Structure 1
């Protein structure tokens, strides 16, 4: 983290700064700082109560300065929004002409998509978003994605402190949770501020981050992308509009898809293991000077003490999630290429540009890796697109899109490497047990028919 995230400033001064002897000591790098009167030679567990009291005062004041109010939940989202807005800076209004052009592009793309997929249009509104609009319309989904791992971070202090320290800390452990919430809020705000200026559409990372049915394109980011390409801007706009519209067809008319994608990310995050070694070292061997020296606090907080680590179970879950993301992105690429390929000559080149952008770890992947330890990178996007293309040639668009009826009908990770077997199953109509599976899914989506029974 490059900025002090908790409202600390290396120029902040307390009342003691009026003491010339203290100022001289502060300027002397060899002079030990002794804020608690421990003689600069460390401390024992009997001193820990004073440590927590001092730390509680610091974070209580920091929360009032930067939090903009009381923090509720594991992440200080008020701080995140404030830092994201500061990162974005001044936002120019989007010209009406640009908004009209985006609406026209989406409308044209929907017309062309109608000819290549039986899934009907899923967009009910077409809008042009500024980076601030993107923050406002996606923050609710980010809360759902970030809260699970943040909840672990907020509780990690209690889990890792020695018993004696835990007894001394008492209610001040809430301050430790507040620190975790502020740290995560700071990280989230800085990441989303950067991401909001680089995403191209509301579905750019393959997840339904925005409101259902709202096709949103980001004119400033699209303009920046177009500067490095040779294709006309109008064609780039139409291409991205088609991708956005294709995503919404899936998310709107495959009822289980959005919830399963978001639930998969949630499940991955909830099972994340947090590397507590840094916190344990801090709790068992605190250097008292670190608690009043902003630069040392910043160093402690940036040493990865909150960095999540994936367990073997999450590695398996990640493979399933990556496969589903690859299938979504591969299907979108297939139908967009079929709809635009004869009309926009640069469609294949634009598809490859976006594929490389994802494969090399763009802003979305970096953001997720930082926030929840998850890289949303469809590593087999090329294989997934090839499978959908071959399946279209073999069975047609109607049968191809019929496999989206239920997750059990979709190809798995092995099928992406060897698509022939999956295509044979579709050709043979192997849907054993699928009727009951679909009935179970519909019941699940519609809610339980009978009230729960108290046990």
Structure 2
């Protein structure tokens, strides 16, 4: 006959809870049963919440095998995005199609980068979520993994010595709970972001596949509501900017991978603050599950950035500013016929600099702000380049990765302009030590040795 709960040892009771979890019986976790584990040094409140999340995560499953239920993120995001149930009216679609058509003509006069191969689209909020969620998943996975690892370590520390083997055996599911919590929060943030973004390139990173452009009519209407600018002018400006962004990423096919790689490199350096996680666990109230959600969304579990991460963030900000600056200049030239172009441009810059609530929440969730801080300086560089060598010379800098302007070019556009002007006159650029070393390497010589025709140094002391 089976032992009653009172006759079972605490270890047996803990094992029984784990069996319930693995068995997928769906039974509710009994708070009194957990309370009896207090003699083992296990916080019943934390264990109740963890076990409930583990049961839910186990029931939801994880087809990817990564311990992170991205289906949960998609469901959460789509639930929020589709709450209003509004579609796109025929009038909205026609107006934006006409704006895209005229913007295409204007852009052809302002840039030598060719037109898109596929027509731009109008997207509902839900369609935007479905189109962009794979990129959000790629960017967020390193942080989600870090949270899963931290939760696993915290649970192992709380379990008594004799239960370590059992806890380690449940490692995959314990990773799942952290991943599921994070995926749920990511879905919440992306769903709310779908109510803010106006176009495919609005966030500044290539969320849509290269060469695709789109506008979200629902959010476009919200963006222009208080600007007191004619709707047709707003549509033309936003369509032009979106097409310029999409054209650039279609032309420079290496650029999308370059941006996403820098973001994921930054994210891989993030490690959850285990002290903050343990502190949260000690005061966690199961009747207030929103506290855990707020901790994730506020960034409280992410430690201060390291020097290496700060350096990576600076590189990423310079890259995003270089892209946004080019888009700004090309859009300005293409929309010079619009009477309200300057006012719209300033509204767009101000909106990008501040960011909306969901974008700020995303920054807290993954520890990364996607707003370029040097956009005005980068735009000034591209304007100087355009004035000096024209649109063709400017756009040629996107032909290969090693031609793209660097951070020092944003600091000193004059040096970049001088190099481009010299090249346009057919002058050879001034050689430096790197050029000499590369030439010796290609010639099969030791790049560390001086050239054969170099003057020997005088060995006599000075």
**TM-score of the two chains, using structure 1 as the length reference:** 0.78
Conserved 8 A contact 1:123-1:249: no
Residue aligning to 2:135: 141
Residue aligning to 1:394: 388
Conserved 8 A contact 2:147-2:271: no
Aligned match for 2:272, one of 265, 271, 274: 274
Aligned counterparts of 2:115 and 2:346: Cα–Cα separation in 1: 25
Conserved 8 A contact 2:125-2:194: yes
Task: Kindly report which structure 2 residues correspond to 1:354-393, keeping only aligned pairs within 5 A, or say none.
Answer: 354-363=348-357, 365-393=359-387
Q: Which string of whole-angstrom CA distances, capped at 9 and with x for unpartnered residues, describes residues 143-180 of structure 1?
A: 11111221222222344544947545222333321221
Task: Kindly report which structure 2 residues correspond to 1:47-446, keeping only aligned pairs within 5 A, or say none.
Answer: 47-48=41-42, 57-63=51-57, 67=60, 72-88=65-81, 89-159=83-153, 161-162=156-157, 164=161, 166-281=164-279, 294-300=286-292, 302-303=294-295, 306-307=301-302, 309-341=304-336, 343-363=337-357, 365-429=359-423, 430=429
Conserved 8 A contact 1:157-1:173: no
Task: For residue 134 of structure 1, report the CA deviation from its aligned partner.
Answer: 0.5
- Of stretches 146-155 and 134-143 in structure 1, the one that deviates more from structure 2 is 146-155
Aligned counterparts of 1:104 and 1:93: Cα–Cα separation in 2: 19
- Does the residue aligned with 2:253 lie in a helix, a strand or coil? coil
- Of stretches 166-175 and 262-271 in structure 1, the one that deviates more from structure 2 is 166-175
Task: For residue 265 of structure 1, report the CA deviation from its aligned partner.
Answer: 0.7
Aligned counterparts of 1:311 and 1:135: Cα–Cα separation in 2: 32
Task: For residue 100 of structure 1, report the CA deviation from its aligned partner.
Answer: 2.3
Task: For residue 345 of structure 1, report the CA deviation from its aligned partner.
Answer: 1.4
Q: Which string of whole-angstrom CA distances, capped at 9 and with x for unpartnered residues, describes residues 260-316 of structure 1?
A: 001111111111232111234467xx57xx5xx522554355445643542211111
Residue aligning to 1:6: none
Aligned counterparts of 2:292 and 2:247: Cα–Cα separation in 1: 46
Aligned counterparts of 2:164 and 2:233: Cα–Cα separation in 1: 61
Equivalent pairs counted in the alignment come to: 396
Q: Which string of whole-angstrom CA distances, capped at 9 and with x for unpartnered residues, describes residues 13-42 of structure 1?
A: 96979xxxxxxxxxxxxxxx884226xxx6
**TM-score of the two chains, using structure 2 as the length reference:** 0.77
Q: Which string of whole-angstrom CA distances, capped at 9 and with x for unpartnered residues, describes residues 62-82 of structure 1?
A: 2367x4776743432222122
Q: Which string of whole-angstrom CA distances, capped at 9 and with x for unpartnered residues, describes residues 103-122 of structure 1?
A: 22112111111111111012
Q: Quick check: which has more Rg, 1 or 2?
A: 2
Residue aligning to 1:20: none
Residues 68 and 425 of structure 1, relative CA distance in 2, 3 Å threshold: same
Aligned counterparts of 1:362 and 1:52: Cα–Cα separation in 2: 33
Aligned counterparts of 1:431 and 1:253: Cα–Cα separation in 2: 29
Conserved 8 A contact 2:54-2:177: no
Residue aligning to 2:426: none
Task: For residue 364 of structure 1, report the CA deviation from its aligned partner.
Answer: 6.1
Conserved 8 A contact 1:272-1:309: no
For structure 1, the 5+ residue unaligned runs are 1-12, 18-32, 438-455
Aligned counterparts of 2:201 and 2:324: Cα–Cα separation in 1: 10
Task: For residue 417 of structure 1, report the CA deviation from its aligned partner.
Answer: 2.8
Task: For residue 136 of structure 1, report the CA deviation from its aligned partner.
Answer: 1.0
Aligned counterparts of 1:271 and 1:77: Cα–Cα separation in 2: 21
Task: For residue 186 of structure 1, report the CA deviation from its aligned partner.
Answer: 1.5
Aligned counterparts of 2:213 and 2:131: Cα–Cα separation in 1: 12
- Of stretches 255-264 and 270-279 in structure 1, the one that deviates more from structure 2 is 270-279
Aligned counterparts of 1:195 and 1:156: Cα–Cα separation in 2: 27
Residues 122 and 431 of structure 1, relative CA distance in 2, 3 Å threshold: farther
- Does the residue aligned with 2:170 lie in a helix, a strand or coil? helix
Task: For residue 401 of structure 1, report the CA deviation from its aligned partner.
Answer: 1.1
Residue aligning to 2:441: none
Conserved 8 A contact 1:276-1:306: yes
Conserved 8 A contact 2:58-2:176: no
